[in-house]
Amino acid sequence: MAEKILMKGNEALAEGAVRAGCRFFAGYPITPQNEVPEYMSWRMPEVGGSFIQAESEVAAINMLYGASATGIRTMTSSSSPGISLKQEGISYCAGADLPIFFANVVRGGPGLGNIAAGQGDYFQSTRGGGHGDYYTIVMAPNCVEEMGNFPRRCYELAEKYRVPAMVLADAILGQMMEPVEFDFEPVDPKTLKAHDWALGIAAGRERRIVRSYDLREGKLELLNLERMERYRKIQEKEALHENRQTDDAKLVVAAYGTSSRIAAGAVKMARDKGMKVGLFRPITLWPFPTKALATIAEHVKNFLVVEMSMGQFVEDVRLAVCGTARVDLYARPAGVPSADEVFTEIEKVYQGIR
Amino acid sequence: MYQGIRISGFGGQGIISAGILLAQAGMIENKHVSWFPAYGAEMRGGTANCSVVVSSDEVASPIVARPDTVIVMNEPSLAKFEPMLKPGGLLIINSSLVNSKPQRSDIRVAYVACNKIAEEIGTTKIANMVALGAFMGLTGALGVEAISKALPKVFKRAKPELLELNVQALKKGAETKIS
Amino acid sequence: MKLINKKPSSLVDKPMRYCPGCGHGIVHRLIAEIMDELDIREHTVGVAPVGCAVFADEYFNCDMIQGPHGRGPAIATGIKRSKPECIVFSYQGDGDLASIGMAETVHSAARSENITIIFINNAIYGMTGGQMAPTTLLGQTSSTCPAGRSVAVNGYPIKVCEMLAQLEGARYLERTSVSTAPGVIKTKKAIKKAFQNQIDCVGFSMVEVLSTCPTNWGMTPVQGARFVDEKMTPIYPLGVFRSPEQ
């Protein structure tokens, strides 16, 4: 594979999408994700794709709706308030079974919040986000290398199940630089299989319709039931996670994204002091790795959730352990904990374990 | 090994690129590295600072809250970053532009006349490199060779003559002693 | 026996569900005839709006996409940029194009996006039940201005062609009416030009068609046609506002 490149998270995200075959990007400026549209503005023309700075996030997501309906790989990115604006369009994409890819480089909220890192968009990302009954595949990188490598996975899953997929990052992952090694060769879009639903040249075939509505009596429910079956398959097959030192652990720290790398530092500090502490990190937030966590909960009876929000992610942890273990929460809503601070929390909880 | 570094100064002093250069050099030496900038709402006239981690282990947080080394290139940065330094940590002060003295006695302090030395070499643009040289000389965290290799990767459009001046500045800075 | 008229092959052979006296059916047929005449059916993609014409995706015999309220020009932009070899049109009503979707309308014109927009102005919201539109006339009643549109409460109607004519990117703008037979013939000519422009890569083309909504106006179809001629055209004068020949 290629040599390591020092890259900014936002640039790795954009380059990862391009290498995965993305040939259409529409977006709107918002900090802390501006490097993504800036990068795409020169990179897209270089690979024969299209870049549009849209008049709003609303227009951007609808440009994606149109572009992805032609069957090509597309991307948009934004940060929290902009993703809120895109939710109607994402719901339409889910309803029309379009495999769009987008990224949320989360900032502090609610409202205008700030431009520092946060994890307050967990519910929005993992519970559909817009109106209606749907889910989005959510991948949560915790380093710049994963920012670069996850877009390809998102495209593949999105197309396999015909659902939107996203990368949920944050301001730290977007702004920081780290070495990156792409784990795949660049994809030539011409080599991708043509979709039997894509709009375009209709010569020699029946016309095609992309839409999210069905007003006929009882038909919408049938559509949703079929989609529900796809969601079930995704939950069964596509959940990803990482365990560290959970086998002999008395306490397992659960965290995702930036929180998980900081927690990993704290777990190491605890191990250095002889404490039996492990780490559980979901890589997909939807589907949530429920089974993997439940398996740990068979022998670990204490969990500490670390999240940069008030207690959103903790709900999925509690659902997974289903009352069989104690779950404590260290919440830093729009604050970034240091490894020292997480370690202090670990010590507190650990001392209380019999 | 673990080195958490904060570099701070005015926008335009090459603070951001000095940080990237450290990270790039660390990567060349097969260390784990991270770089993280302070990105404010204001575009000009503000202070610039960044965090760099060079470590033999995975980097937990890229935000260096308790630095091992602080490099202050201008006056306002001293008051802001001196308190963050770990006890026993290294404070490199650009004495060409910083007149105040540090308050703490539990730290090591090196005064480097970065602008003056840079000007003698040829241009004040490379004052940041004098400071990096001092960091390398005093900590031994990174070798001159790695930084030299990193230079053309970071300054892709710089002329070879300017890169050569950068190397001279690094070497001169590396002669710095703790006062 | 000699065939003197037939349904255009660009129209799906099924009955339309529009009200008696509604202009949508007329304009649909005109677009379909033009697609036949220009022989572009097999590479045309149409964008259906939210509103009465939401069902346009069932009526046009070409690839269709139905999207969120007001976003037709953005969707058309995404399709056209991805598949420049396709002819892309967006079919929109007045609430869709001039109220919720005004930003997309203005910016697609400013970018001179090489797309064709058919804008049906009947001065009212149809599908939701006769509410005030941005194009509702002063004094005209609707279910959300039952005493008539007043300047004090609702402000003035928006004249879209006049407004867009300020933009260099708006290459072709024409307002026509389907309230009379000659008007229908002129409308067809205008829409055909708007499609031909796209084939010739001229840029943003829009035809505003003054149309009828007898149901929500509380009129007979004949009264409705007269309303267009007597009340709407003085406020929305017919004619060419910008053309590539200018």
A contacts of B65 (beta carbons < 8 Å): 338, 340
- Inter-chain residue contact C78 with A54, CB threshold 8 Å: no
C-alpha distance from A7 to closest chain B C-alpha (Å): 10
Which site among A4, A112, A142, A176 would you substitute to test the B interface, given the most B Cβ atoms closer than 10 Å to its Cβ?
Answer: A176
**Could you tell me which chains touch chain A, where touching means 3 or more CB pairs under 8 A?**
B, C
Residues in chain C: 246
**Is the domain of A246 the same as that of A232?**
no
pLDDT of residue B106: 97
Mean pLDDT of A72-101: 98
Residue A211 lies in a domain: no
Exposed e or buried b for every residue in B80-90, given b needs 16+ CB within 10 A?
A: ebbeebeeebb
A137-139/A284-286 β-pairing: antiparallel
For residue A160, being part of any structural domain is answered with yes
Domain range holding B45?
Answer: 2-173
Q: Where does A167-256 have alpha helices with state H? A: 171-175, 219-237
* Helix extents (H) in chain A: 9-19, 35-46, 57-69, 80-95, 122-126, 144-161, 171-175, 219-237, 257-272, 290-297, 313-321, 339-351
Per the domain annotation, does C151 fall within a domain? no
Give chain A's end-to-end CA distance (angstroms, integer). 49
A164 and A188 part of one domain: yes
User: Number of Cβ pairs closer than 8 Å across A and C?
Assistant: 128
Domain annotation covers residue B179: no
Out of B23, B57, B63, whose CB is closest to A177?
B23
Mean residue pLDDT across chain C: 97
Domain at B136, CATH number: 3.40.920.10
Is residue A208 in a domain?
A: no
CB-based contact B8:B70 (threshold 8 Å): yes
Q: Is the pLDDT of residue A287 over 80?
A: yes
**Among A210, A236, A262, where does a domain finish?**
A236
Q: Is B43 on the interface with A (CB under 8 A)?
A: no
Q: Are residues A13 and A159 in the same domain?
A: yes
- Domain identity same for A137 and A264: no
Name the domain count of chain B. 1
Candidates C41, C43, C75; nearest CB to A66: C75
Asked if the C-beta of C169 comes within 8 angstroms of chain A's C-beta atoms, the answer is: no
Contact with chain A for residue B24, Cβ under 8 A: yes
Is the reported ipTM for this assembly greater than 0.90?
yes
Closest CA to C159 of C48, C217, C241, C49: C241
Mind telling me how many Å the CA of C101 is from chain A's nearest CA? Answer: 9
A75 and A165: one domain? yes
Q: Is residue B178 part of a domain?
A: no
CA distance linking residue A33 with residue A30, whole number of Å: 6
From C185's Cα to the closest Cα of chain A, the distance in A is 28
The whole-number pLDDT of residue B44 equals 56
Domain assignment of residue B54, yes or no = yes
The total number of structural domains that make up chain C: 1
* Residue A219 within a domain: no
Q: Does B158 touch chain A (CB under 8 A)?
A: no
Among A236, A255, A280, which residue terminates a domain? A236
Q: Do A14 and A160 sit in the same domain of this protein?
A: yes
| Residues in chain B closer than 8 A to A272 (CB atoms) | none
Rounded CA-CA distance A291/A236 in Å is: 9
Q: How much is the pLDDT for B42?
A: 56
Asked if the Cβ–Cβ distance from A6 to B20 is below 8 Å, we say: yes
| CB atoms A92 and C67 under 8 Å | yes
**Within a 13 Å sphere around the CA of C23, how many CA atoms are in the beta-carbon half?**
34
Residue A217 falls inside a structural domain: no
Assign A111 a pLDDT band (cuts: 50, 70, 90).
very high
The CATH number given to whatever domain includes residue C36 is 3.40.50.970
CA nearest to A197 within chain C: C63
Residue of chain A with shortest Cα separation from C88: A200
Q: Which of residues 95-124 of C touch A (CB under 8 A)?
A: 103-104, 106-107
- Encoded tokens for A192: 């991708």
* Whether A231 and A344 share a structural domain: no
- Which residue ranges of chain B lie beneath pLDDT 50? none
CATH of residue A288's domain is: 3.40.50.920
Residue C86 amino acid letter: C
Give the total number of structural domains in chain A.
2
* A88 with C74: Cβ contact below 8 A: no
Look up the domain containing A12 and give its range: 5-200+226-236
Say yes or no to pLDDT of A1 above 50.
Answer: no
CA distance A198 to chain B (A): 41
Tokens linked to C93: 């009503």
Per-residue pLDDT of chain C (246 residues; tens, 9 = 90+): 899 989 999 999 999 999 999 999 999 999 999 999 999 999 999 999 999 999 999 999 999 999 999 999 999 999 999 999 999 999 999 999 999 999 999 999 999 999 999 999 999 999 999 999 999 999 999 999 999 999 999 999 999 999 999 999 999 999 999 999 999 999 999 999 999 999 999 999 999 999 999 999 999 999 999 999 999 999 999 999 999 987
Q: What angle do CA A218, A224, A229 make, to 5 degrees?
A: 130
Q: Does residue A329 sit in the same domain as residue A232? A: no
CA distances from residue C107 to C72, C164, C204 in whole angstroms, order as listed: 12, 10, 10
Domain extent at residue C204: 24-125+159-242
Distances (CA, A) of C111 to A54, A314, B99: 10, 46, 54
Sheet architecture: strand order including C239-242: A209-210, C63-66, C44-48, C87-93, C116-121, C204-210, C170-177, C239-242
Query: Is residue B63 within 8 angstroms of chain A, CB to CB?
Result: yes
Kindly report the pTM of this predicted structure.
Answer: 0.96
For residues A78 and A60, what is the distance between their CA atoms, to the nearest angstrom?
Answer: 10
Mutate to test the interface with B, among A3, A34, A38, A178 (most CBs of B within 10 A): A178
Chain B CB contacts of A4 under 8 Å are: 27
pLDDT at B43: 53
List the CATH number of the domain containing A167: 3.40.50.970
Tokens representing C62? 């070409």
Query: pLDDT tens across A222-275, in order?
Result: 999 999 999 999 999 999 999 999 999 999 999 999 999 999 999 999 999 999
Kindly report the average pLDDT of chain A as a whole number. 97
Whether residue C8 is contained in a domain is answered as: no
Are both A18 and A116 inside the same structural domain? yes
Confidence of residue A348 (pLDDT cuts 50, 70, 90): very high
Within a domain: residue C232?
yes
- List A179's β-bridge partners, or say none: A6
Interface test with A, best of C10, C63, C97, C113 (most A CBs within 10 A): C63
Residues A46 and A157 in one domain: yes
On whether residue A91 sits in a domain, the answer given is yes
Torsion of CA C223, C225, C227, C231, to 10 degrees: -160
Task: Tell me whether residue C229 is in a domain.
Answer: yes
By CB atoms closer than 10 A (0-12, 13-18, 19+), residue A91 is: buried
End-to-end distance of chain B based on CA atoms, in angstroms? 25
Query: What does DSSP say about strands A22-27 and A73-78: parallel, antiparallel, or unpaired?
Result: parallel
